[in-house]
Structure 1
């Protein structure tokens, strides 16, 4: 941890690894959520498994929360470091001439995503904890679908989800590809990988938007 704190290269490497881990979780989360559009029964089955499996609840979930916090802290640290370097080293720094809008504003898209995660926890994670550990309700494997789609009856909440996933798309368009560069992935497959990361960054957030809008329209 001392090396991560002191070394810029180590920070970027740690940032990249945590980002790739979160991308894997995002894909897993999307895979489960899209089943709510295809088959409510399948969605209930998968959600029940994730909500009751010891490995998921006791190990993967805490690791995920740590990964989110760690990724944000590393991103904030690197942003402060980069701003200080620009202030010292460049009197006439022109960011738009050297980098894309997305790369220059990763911290802001990250803040929006973090705020969205707070809303997401408020909508789903905290009620789940209350349901299981405070109210101590009996297990009901069929409850997840109805509880989920109920969140998308509010147009304001759906709008916040849509905006958040647009910012996630912008964040991923730069961050996903740059994560592979930071961990040293640079070979003949780099161009193909870059195309894949861009496609992923667009398709997955649009998929989440589709899920939210679908359930809103379907229950008007």
Structure 2
């Protein structure tokens, strides 16, 4: 594996696969969170299942955490390699004419997304681990909704979530479609797929922003 990942092409391929995996998780996470807008009971039921199911907790959760770490580590490695390559002086080079603003600044939008993940872990994952495994509270299938909405009482925290999802949209707008290019998806469906990935990059972050603002307004 170490030898395989020494290749730049292999790194891009591996990063693309991890990114696609995270995109699937994002859709699942959004679907569950969206139910909190329409039904407290459904949100509690789904959250309780995800929080107590052995397959989710013991297998999928570690894979997800590994996927997040792997994706960002690969991103930093590729950025460092690219910067090193750009240090070589060519007779003619104009990066701005060959790539979009988003593609040239993926590292910065990625850093903001990584900071948001830290906040999200601090707000939800760590309290969940403490609740279940440190303080050893009995199971309470009705607690999840209230734990969610209380996080959006603060305008500062809500604003941080909104800003983070704006940067997530910027990151996804280029990253989602380029992931398919990295794994070699080049056929007659590529144009339609690009349209889908760009729509996804806008709709899903806007959906998360809507959820955050909905609960903040309801808390007023």
Q: Structure 2 length normalisation: TM-score?
A: 0.98
Using the alignment, how far apart are the partners of 1:36 and 1:91 within structure 2? Answer: 57
Instruction: Give aligned pairs, total.
Output: 220
Where in structure 1 do 4 or more consecutive aligned residues deviate above 3 Å? none
Question: Which residues of structure 2 form unaligned runs of 5+?
Answer: none
Using the alignment, how far apart are the partners of 2:16 and 2:89 within structure 1? Answer: 25
Q: Deviations over 1:34-80 (max 9, x none)?
A: 00001110000000000000011111111101000100010111111
Q: CA RMSD in A?
A: 1.0
What does 1:172-211 correspond to in 2, within 5 Å?
172-211=172-211
Using the alignment, how far apart are the partners of 2:121 and 2:4 within structure 1? Answer: 29
Once the two structures are TM-superposed, the CA of residue 219 in structure 1 deviates from its matched residue by 1.3
Question: Which residues of structure 1 form unaligned runs of 5+?
Answer: none
Contact 1:3 1:10 in 2 (8 A): no
Once the two structures are TM-superposed, the CA of residue 159 in structure 1 deviates from its matched residue by 0.4
The residue matched to 1:141 in structure 2 has which SS? coil
Once the two structures are TM-superposed, the CA of residue 218 in structure 1 deviates from its matched residue by 1.1
Using the alignment, how far apart are the partners of 1:45 and 1:4 within structure 2? Answer: 43
Q: Does 1:20 align with 2:6?
A: no
What does 1:24-103 correspond to in 2, within 5 Å?
24-90=24-90, 93-103=93-103
